[in-house]
Structure formats: C-alpha cells, structure tokens
Structure 1
Amino acid sequence: MNAQDDFLRGRVPPSQQHPQQQSQQQRPWQPPPQPQPLQHAPYPAPAPMPPVRPRPTRGWRRVVLSATFGLVNLGPSPAEREETAYEAAIRSMPNGSYKVGVLGKGGVGKTTVAASVGSVFAALRRADHVVAVDADTAFGRLGSRIDPRATSSYWDLAADAGMQSFADISSRVGANAAGLYVLIGEPAAGRRRILDAALYREAALRLDRHFTISIIDCGSTMDSPVTQEALRDLDALIVVSSPWADGAGAAAKTMEWLADRGQGGLLQRTVVVLNDSDGHADQRTRSALTAQFLRHGQAVVEVPFDPHLRPGGVIDIMQEMAPATRRRFLQIAAIIAHYFSSRPGGRDAKTRPNQSR
C-alpha cells in the first residue's frame, strides 16, 4: 500500500466502502447468538390403564383362571359380587356397642338364625367381641348350636363378683370356631332354675362391659318379663317366621304387639326372616308373604332350606353351610349393619349422657 491508496481511501464515500469494513465500523458489538435447542414433537400421553378385574375365588370361573395361567379372567360371579358387597357393609359399619334381638314362635328356627347371624358378625368383625345370649326361658337351645361344652350360665356369671377382665368373663362363656361367644340359659343337666328379669339385667350389665355386639335370642312369649327387659335397649330386631301363612301370621302379630307398646322406632329397624326349615315351602307362598311384609315397610330375607341346619348341633357357617344359605345370612347381617349406621355408637351413645353426670 502507498500514499496514493491512503489518499483515495480517505475520499471514498462510506457507502462505497467494503461491506465488511462498513459493518465493523458502524454496528455496535453484540454477543454471538446462542445455539437453539432442537425442537422435538411432544411425546403422546400414555393411554389409561384398563381397570383390573377382580379375580374369582371359587367355582368354574376360578378353574378357568387357573387353567389358563391367569390369561382368561372372567371375574367373580354375580353371587360372589353380592357376597363381597354384603361383607363390605358389615366390615364398614360404625364402631360402637349394639344389641340385636331375635323373636319368633317356637319351631321357626329362631335360635338357628340367632346363632348364624352372630357367627357372621363374629367372623367379619374380628376386632369386636360378639356374644349370643340365650334369653329364652323355655329350655333355650342356643348353647347347643354354638358350643355344647359351655356349662356356665346366668347364675354363674352373676355369682362371681371377682370377674373384671375379658379373660375372666370369657372363661364363663362358650365359643365357636367363628369367634362367637355364647351365654347359655341353663345347663342341660341339673336342677331347673327360672331366669327372671333382674338376673338377666345383672348378667347383661356384666357382658356389656366387654362385648360390643350382642345377639339376644328372646323367648317366644312376648309378655315374658325377661323378653320385655331384653327389648328395652335393642338397636335392631330380627323377626323369624316360617314361609307359611300361619307362621307369617304369628310374625305379624308380634310386630302389632310391638307397635301397640310404642316400639315403632324398633319396627323401622326390623328385618323379617322367612326361614324354610324343612324344604317344603313353595315359591308362590314365599313371594306372597314377602310382598305382604314389604308393604308394611319391613326388610325381608328368605333363607332357603339347608340340610346342615336341620338336624341341630353346632352351626358351621364357613365349611358346612351351603353357599346360598350363607349368602342370605350375610344379607341379614348387612341389613342389621345398615340399621346400626343410623344409630352411630349404639349403646355407647345412649349411655354417654349418664356417664358425664
């Protein structure tokens, strides 16, 4: 480069200068552009997982599930789903102390129903202590249906003033495999003694300290002082009838008797059990009787004939009772649990004001 080049550069207009030189002289400094991240298309949202179908636990549906190594799951049968719903209702009922009375004339299966419903509650409410109480003064047989080895009765319970803990009192009552305890009316052998209302009340007070659910197998004589004492503090009632017109008539008279004595509230918490104890009832008669009680606002459950219940002896709800029969007793217990839900706390709630005095 010579002096002439320098002279000419000074006289060239800026617009005619080299573009690179013009840019470097006029534009302010800027940082270099940052690299932009690559833009990817968003991932599609995962598809929702299909609901897991419950597995059958018995019957031919379980056989199919096992034979196909779990690939073919037809789900529980309608009967199994019904049982599951009843069991859930029983397990989810509110905590508290409750009493259920069982009424019915002789020969309709009142004691069988009391032992079966009590066993259902004991099996499904393991955290509770459930007791069945024989309040039938006419040679009650509740002990033979739950624990024939039980020998202590009301008189033994009331006479022992030293009983304080649950272990003390459980040694005075019988029990079955389901966990249901039983206080018998009197031993099969020995001198006959007559249960009165005062003795029943004393024994009931002792049981109430340790048992949260009591099933009271009442006598068939409504005017009996013991029966009237038992009816005083019930949270629900079961009226047992045969599936024949004469048995249903006796059950209807029982409810009329209760209504006449101001027990309308208890009648709203009553379930009528049509118990087919001999297998001779026809469906038409059962349907007519069911409709009759439903018109009066009572829940009705039909218990089918079950050879296991007919001969007497200990009732086994888990192994020997027919599935259809057990399902009906589950239904009865679920209805009773629903009645309990309308009286949260049961006996605890009723006695709380007295305890605060």
Structure 2
Amino acid sequence: MARRPEPDPTTWWARYGHRLEGPPVTNPAQPPAPEVPRPELPRSEAPRGNPGAAAADLREDTMLRARPDRPRTGWRRALYDVTGGRVNPGPSDAEELRSGLLARVRAPLAGAHRVAVMSVKGGVGKTTVAACLGQALAEHRGDRAVVLDANPDAGTLADRLTGDSRITVRELLNDLDSVGTWTDVSRYTSLAGRLQVLASEQDPASGEAFSRDEYERVVDLLGRFFNIIITDSGTGMVHSTMQGTLARADSVVVVGAPTVDGAGRASKTLDWLVAHGHGDLVRDAVVVLSCDRRSAEVDAARIREHFVQRVRGVVEVPHDPHLATGGRVDPARLRPATADAFLELGALVADAFDVRRRD
C-alpha cells in the first residue's frame, strides 16, 4: 500500500497553528520577528482612567436591563397574574397614555404657581373644574396645593369639596399679621384628600369687601406655604378681586361649554383678557369645555378648533352623573373618562411649571 505523503509543515502551520493555546506560535519555516522595545511614557503622560466618568453614569436605568412595565388593568393584568409574571403583555395604550399624563402632572416646580379658573358666564361648571383640577394635582404630586374661593357672591367651592365653610378667607384676613407658620395657616383651611380648601365669605354683603389688595395679600401669604394656588374666580371681570387675580396669575383656565352661549362667552373672555393687556395669559391659557350641556345641532368639532387656534390647550370634560348632582365631589365616583379629562387638564397646567414666572 502506498504511503500518504507527509504534509507540508508550512501549509499546516498557516492553517492550524493559530488554534493552539499558549504563547503565539510562529511558522517554523520563518524566523521570528525581532522584538521592538516599547518606550515607557513619563508618569505625567501615562494613560489613565476617565476622571469624568462620575457615579451618575451608573444610574439604575442604565444598569438594569429594559423590561416591559407590569400591566395594571384588564386582561393584560389577569394574564400577568395567572402566569406569575412569566407572560407580560405590557401595559395597554390607555395605560401608557395615563402614565405619560402622570409624569407631566408631577413636573418639578420651584416656588409657587398661581392658576386662575375663570368664566364670565355662570352655570358652565367653573367651580367644578377648579375643584377637580385641585384634586388631580394634589393627589398625584408630593407638594402642597390649595384652592381659594374668591367669588364675592358666597361661592360654593368649600361646599363642593369639604362641606365646611365655617371658617373663611375673611377670618384669615383679620388674623393675617399673626399667621407665620404652616400650623397657623391650616387653622383656616379644610381638607379634601390632600387638597387644602380656603372658603369664601358666605355673606354676599361682606364679600364685596374682599378687594384687590386683600386678595393679593392672601395669595402672597399662601405662596409662602403652598406650591400650587388655584383661584376659583367670580363670574364678573371688572370687580376688584378679579383684577388682583389676574395681576397675580401665572396661568389661567377658561371654562366654557360646547353650546352657542357657552362657547361664545368663553371666547369673549379671551377677547377681554387680550384687550386689557393679558395677551400672554391667553396664549398660555387652557380652555375647558364642560359637556354637561351639548346638542347634536352644534358643531362641537368647530368649537374645539376655534379654541385650539387661540390657546395652548383644550380639554373636553364629558358628562358625568356624579358631577351633575351638584353635590360633594368624590374623585372615586367619577367615571374613568372624566377622571382622565381632569388628569389631562392637570398635565396641561403643569406643562407651564418650567416657564419663567411672571412678575
């Protein structure tokens, strides 16, 4: 039998020599390359670590592998629970939207932000909007929020939120010079969840004495203890308190309705603000369309488009049987669509928190 020829060592080393472990293997047919000495760098020039790599580069969101959030409602939650989390379909689009709104509502805020809720027409849900906006912001933030009833005609804000209007802004005004701590302030407010409520004077004759100067003194005091101050304004635009409200406001919420008179009055409110030098507030305003009253004969889309072109945001609050009673507002009894609308309103208001506050 013929013997198999011996393999060429040059070819064998070229093909398989690199697979051997240990020091680099050279082709025996070639002499090793001479070793070139590596120059040593001075200590001042030696390569070092990156001193700019701070501990912030090891944040939790950079160290943990991304995984879908846990669903909280519906069949997605049921599937997640049944499988012990092994099957995670992730949150629904509605949950993602709500999470985004919550993140906006919780925007950081330095100092105090003052929101005026207003309408020249009564009966469109202005007080309801002020109450629900205050609750949405207070319940989902960690700072302090207060809603002030500045209606000179015996406002009902405290009745809608706490049912306690025994102590009012009038008592606070009388004792203003002696109020110096959070405990002092809390004696004049009632509590609706995490929202503090300051009632208006219940005697209309006395309420007329709530002047611009007094309003500004109260709001300035509240600004020392609260991050968010919401004012439920009266329906008149020319009374003294309204002048003080606009002078101190950082943003405004104008309430209307998708009806001929409700939308027309809301638009005229914006016209009045522009005519009296508050164009900046109008450009940054949010319009709320309360849909308790609506008709198929009215082009609601046309009304919405009108306000979209004039202000920063528009929110439609759907009809809600709980709010329609006119009684105490309980957030737990709101329909989900209603709660989402007020959460959207809170997000739009909070979007302005990073804007420089007006003097």
TM-score of the two chains, using structure 1 as the length reference: 0.78
> Which of residues 207, 215, 221 is equivalent to 2:236?
221
Any gaps of 5 or more consecutive residues in structure 1? 1-34, 40-48, 351-357
Q: CA deviation at 1:283?
A: 9.7
C-alpha separation between the residues in 1 aligned to 2:243 and 2:300? 30
Partner SS for 2:117: strand
CA contact (8 A) 2:167 2:189 kept: yes
Count of residues in Structure 1 that have an aligned counterpart in Structure 2: 299
CA contact (8 A) 1:93 1:338 kept: no
CA contact (8 A) 2:107 2:353 kept: no
Q: CA deviation at 1:240?
A: 0.6
Tell me the alpha carbon deviations over residues 276-332 of structure 1, each in whole angstroms, 9 at most, x when there is no partner. Answer: 125x44497321211111122441111111112111233222x21111111111111
Match of 1:124 in 2: 140
Partner SS for 1:293: helix
C-alpha separation between the residues in 2 aligned to 1:207 and 1:298? 27
- Percent of residue pairs identical: 35
Larger Rg: 1
C-alpha separation between the residues in 1 aligned to 2:207 and 2:289? 32
Seen in structure 2, the aligned counterparts of structure 1 residues 226 and 193 have a Cα distance that, compared at 3 Å, is closer
The code of the aligned residue for 2:77 comes to R
CA contact (8 A) 1:245 1:289 kept: no
Match of 2:340 in 1: 327
Pairwise CA RMSD: 2.4
C-alpha separation between the residues in 2 aligned to 1:249 and 1:211? 34
Partner SS for 1:71: coil
Q: CA deviation at 1:123?
A: 1.1
**Pair 1:292 & 2:284 matched:** no
Match of 1:264 in 2: 279
Tell me the alpha carbon deviations over residues 193-221 of structure 1, each in whole angstroms, 9 at most, x when there is no partner. Answer: 43322332232232222112100111111
Match of 1:163 in 2: 179
Partner SS for 1:216: strand
For residues 1-357 of structure 1, the aligned pairs below 5 Å read 37=22, 51-104=66-119, 105-126=121-142, 128-160=143-175, 161-177=177-193, 179-187=194-202, 193-194=207-208, 195-278=210-293, 280-282=294-296, 285-317=299-331, 319-343=332-356, 346=357, 350=359
C-alpha separation between the residues in 1 aligned to 2:148 and 2:267? 24
C-alpha separation between the residues in 2 aligned to 1:297 and 1:158? 35
TM-score of the two chains, using structure 2 as the length reference: 0.77
C-alpha separation between the residues in 2 aligned to 1:284 and 1:86? 30
Tell me the alpha carbon deviations over residues 197-251 of structure 1, each in whole angstroms, 9 at most, x when there is no partner. Answer: 2332232232222112100111111111111111102111100111112100000
C-alpha separation between the residues in 2 aligned to 1:93 and 1:283? 43
